[in-house]
Amino acid sequence: MVRRLFSRTLRPVAVCAVAMLGCGSVPAQEAILPGDPATLSMRGNVEKAISQGLNYLVQSQSADGVWSASQGVTGRATLVLLLSPVLPVPESHGEAVGRAIPALASFLPDAPVENTAWAVLALSAAPGSAQRLLAAPGVALLNERLCSQLWQIRHGGNGPKGMTVADLALALEAFFSTETAVDPAAATPDIALLTGFLQRSQNLAGFNPAPWASADVENQGGFIDAPGHSVAGKTELPEGKVEFKSYGGATVAGYLAFLDLGIRPDDPRVKAASDWLRRHYDLAENPHLGQDGLFIWYHLLSKALNRRGQPVLVLDDGRQIEWRTELARRILDLQKPDGSWVNTNARWNETDPALCTALAVLTLQTLHSGL
């Protein structure tokens, strides 16, 4: 029996999802909103930005139901439309989802791990058992790749050509959060094997046996992409020693993956990652990577801090940050007049406004649940 370790924080609002499948708009419902007037104002601003972002995505969708001719962008865009907390839902949004779902289903089971995971998350968020069952081939593929020790041995530690920490975190989220029908006899992912992969990707001597595991405060506890590979680069030290640089996006992905594998928050490995984030918290850039992967950083950071369940983040220097409000304000400031978001740095295709808009809206949706 598959062990369900993760439960998605954001769930589609039932009445919202019905509207999105082409049943028309629904009346706006009066909500009871907690907080002071400033919080309510921020909540309203976030909802407005979400609506504008979703409208941009609907307008930029191709006639064949995809965005940017990309499997991954289509999965993200479909998911944010399905998870919208803003009512009433425009009928055009439901029509966009209706066009996207067959396209997503057609991508499976041949998509790469990352794209498969996004398709599974989107298809499993769609209302109705028939829609969710479309995710089954993707679930089977993720199950195979997470459960097959041979696949992990061949690909899990091979740097940029194999699975990365971010890939693993996303695959685990999709695998454990899906509510589609999965074979009850399916094997549980090899927790020890996957945990070992994470340990070998973390700059934490004592758990990572690799000689490059750094005790430097800039790297200790943080994550790199995969054992022996970091897009943030490396530092050449005396006597031929090398240290691979930890960076923000990989560290929040590793933190989330540990939690999804059932590792407790007080475990030294999880705590070390959390401590790295408290030392390097930065909304101006993806720590140690500048503007590269900025919107991926915001999205993963919002999920990681949301999982911590604390409204205030106490940084290493003692500052107390109301992280939801601060991150929401940063995202709002970056929105373009047409409702989109875009990065000027091309790494991971973040010059694609559809991709960045989907990631920004996902971030705001995570923040909205706690405002």
CATH number of the structural domain spanning residue 147: 1.50.10.20
Q: Is the pLDDT of residue 5 over 50?
A: no
Q: What residue type is 259 in one-letter code?
A: L
- For position 152, what pLDDT does the model report? 53
Return the closest-CA partner of residue 269 out of 221, 227, 223, 302: 221
Contact 362, 79 (CB under 8 A): yes
Return the closest-CA partner of residue 272 out of 200, 209, 202: 202
Q: What percent of the chain has pLDDT over 70?
A: 80
What DSSP character marks residue 94?
H
The tokens 């993806």 sit on which residue?
Answer: 286
Q: Is the pLDDT of residue 255 over 90?
A: yes
Considering its fold, how many domains does the chain have in total? 1
Question: Residue 93 domain-assigned?
Answer: yes
Angle separating helix axes 294-308 and 248-260, nearest 10 degrees: 40
Q: What residue type is 43 in one-letter code?
A: R
The model's confidence at residue 34, banded by pLDDT at 50, 70 and 90, is very low
State the DSSP H helix or E strand holding residue 299, giving kind and residue range, or none if neither. helix 294-308
Q: Is the pLDDT of residue 327 over 90?
A: yes
Contact 356, 330 (CB under 8 A): no
Q: What is the largest CA-CA distance in the chain?
A: 69
The model's confidence at residue 16, banded by pLDDT at 50, 70 and 90, is very low
Mean pLDDT of the chain: 83
Contact 192, 145 (CB under 8 A): no
- For position 77, what pLDDT does the model report? 98
Most confidently modeled range among 7-21, 120-134, 292-306: 292-306
Question: Residue 88 domain-assigned?
Answer: yes
What DSSP character marks residue 187?
P
Question: Residue 5 domain-assigned?
Answer: no
How far CA 290 is from CA of 75, 100, 145, 341, 349, in Å, comes to 26, 33, 32, 17, 15
Question: Residue 1 domain-assigned?
Answer: no
Question: Residue 211 domain-assigned?
Answer: yes
Q: Is the pLDDT of residue 31 over 50?
A: no
**Which value, to the nearest 10 degrees, does the dihedral of the CA atoms of residues 286, 172, 260, 366 take?**
50
37's CB contacts (< 8 A; 6+ apart) are none
Q: Is the pLDDT of residue 179 over 60?
A: no
Return the closest-CA partner of residue 301 out of 345, 366, 205: 366
Question: Residue 252 domain-assigned?
Answer: yes
The model's confidence at residue 86, banded by pLDDT at 50, 70 and 90, is confident
Q: What is the pLDDT of residues 237-254, one digit of tens each?
A: 887 889 999 999 999 999
Question: Residue 96 domain-assigned?
Answer: yes
Report which of residues 272 and 10 the model is more confident about: 272
Question: Residue 35 domain-assigned?
Answer: yes
Q: Is the pLDDT of residue 132 over 80?
A: no
Q: Is the pLDDT of residue 19 over 60?
A: no
Domain containing 289 equals: 14-368
Say how many C-beta atoms besides its own lie within 10 A of residue 38's C-beta: 9
- For position 249, what pLDDT does the model report? 97
- For position 26, what pLDDT does the model report? 30
Contact 261, 5 (CB under 8 A): yes
Q: Is the pLDDT of residue 28 over 70?
A: no
- For position 130, what pLDDT does the model report? 64
